[in-house]
Structure 1
């Protein structure tokens, strides 16, 4: 069928004659059709966002490093949105059950990633399990409850400032004075807790009230080679001339018999 230019058409459109003499616009529609938009790139998974943001926040991590406030807010916001399904866990897993009738329930650490700048993983505690009072030397730690509930007790070392006017900072048996930072129950509705090298509850212990899981992002991570081992402490009441002061406790470093089972988890993100 011949193709003809239709005179008087300001757009110069090309049409085809039809048996009834009317031009068809089918080819016109094909030519004027806008190209289909490219499909949107898939959003990164929650674990990918966690990894990428942690790497950015701790890019300059070193002992004593404290991320700037805006970086703390970014990472805490990602952790606040995490759900157990995002990290591949659920309360029905065997890590949350205590099959033995004797001895304390075991704690399992699900290890996801570590480098010399930061690490992150999940502590899984059956009901009544305890992670004893311990420290995080030179570290900033983000802790987020994913499921269940636990009692959190944390301390910071008492410092040589106004406190030292009325408190002795060390005892004759080697214990140090610490001030309570947190003594409360936390659960999955609680926002991310951030502790810093010198404050925020750098020394803490967990007691599971129900089967529970808490995700920790730590920077820099523990390192035996660099002298950043985890130390454990026994606590005892502090008494001043006015009697027992519940805001403080004596903490004395002790050998630890605490052990955790470690499980290497498959990567759910691209490094």
Structure 2
């Protein structure tokens, strides 16, 4: 999901001119000083990987792997974060603890940002229409559950006799892709427009930071609107012509689109204060 806020204008400190150094050791020091940050490397890689991207366009496998390797190597220090920061100790409200989003970069091709979740922070089940999404857990332990649509499954269902009080309209069959706890350091997760768990939800079991790259980003004018869902066990409903072996039913669920943004999510924007991106 994408929640952004403009980066604040911040002037760097001015340093007085230093005497010129001629020895090789000093030259090496200057070369080290000019070395690009990991965030800059991530930005440059995203520019190349998503250069010809658009809705539903997945980068070539070699480019997906290249971006994954950059994200796999990133650590909290690379973005100026630690679990002791105030983002990860937000007070609990009736809706649960607030989640902070740090906006790093967004253009029409991709976006980069970080979700900071205190313990028990939840990002409800939502989709990523036409996007390829990379999520890197920088620290913490998080439960992730994700689904993909079952292709050609009927889009409506009748209520099972045992759940006659429930009458949600327009539910659709989905298959569970992931339902597990993840603890950093771990590999970057990747989801695709029609595979890999395009609908997912997060629950922070400890303080967590998730670095997200979306290609392309959410855009209402371009039909990439974030939709939230409710999920129901497969056994709750029955549809003519749809059957699943009893021992596999836990691998399927019915998803229903939510008409409004869930009340149990509170996301606030904050200024990213880690290494800055230099656009060349």
Length-normalised TM-score, structure 2: 0.77
Equivalent position of 1:39 in the other structure? 27
Provide the aligned C-alpha RMSD in A: 2.0
SS across alignment from 1:82? coil
CA gap of 1:44–1:249, structure 2 versus 1, over 3 A, is same
* Aligned twin of 1:250: 254
User: Which residue matches 1:171?
Assistant: 157
Quote the offset at 1:233 in angstroms: 0.2
Matches within 5 A, 1:1-150: 39-40=27-28, 41-42=31-32, 43-100=35-92, 102-150=94-142
Matched residue, 2:278: 270
2:27 counterpart SS class: coil
Deviations 1:60-115 (A, max 9, x none): 11000101111111111111111101001111111101324644011111110000
Q: Identify the residue that residue 197 of structure 1 maps to in structure 2.
A: 193
Query: Displacement, 1:177?
Result: 0.5
Task: Say whether residues 1:213 and 2:217 are aligned partners.
Answer: no
Q: Work out which structure has the larger RCO, using CA pairs closer than 8 Å and 6 or more positions apart in sequence.
A: 2
User: Does the aligned pair in 1 maintain the 2:141–2:206 contact within 8 Å?
Assistant: yes
Contact 1:108/1:260 (8 A) holds in 2 = yes
Query: Could you tell me which of 148, 155, 158 is aligned with 2:147?
Result: 155
1:186 is matched with 182
Larger radius of gyration: 1
**How has the CA–CA distance of structure 1 residues 177 and 66 changed in structure 2, closer, same or farther, with 3 Å as cutoff?**
same
Separation in structure 1 between the aligned mates of residue 252 and residue 135 of structure 2, nearest angstrom: 23
Shift of 1:142: 0.4
Structure 1 unaligned residues grouped into runs of 5+: 1-34
User: How far, CA to CA, are the matches of 2:120 and 2:56 in structure 1?
Assistant: 33
User: Where does residue 18 of structure 2 map in the other structure?
Assistant: none
TM-score (norm 1): 0.80
Q: How many residues align?
A: 231
Return 5+ residue gaps in structure 2 as ranges: 1-22, 159-168, 236-242
Q: Segments of 4+ in structure 1 off by > 3 A?
A: 35-42, 100-103, 240-244
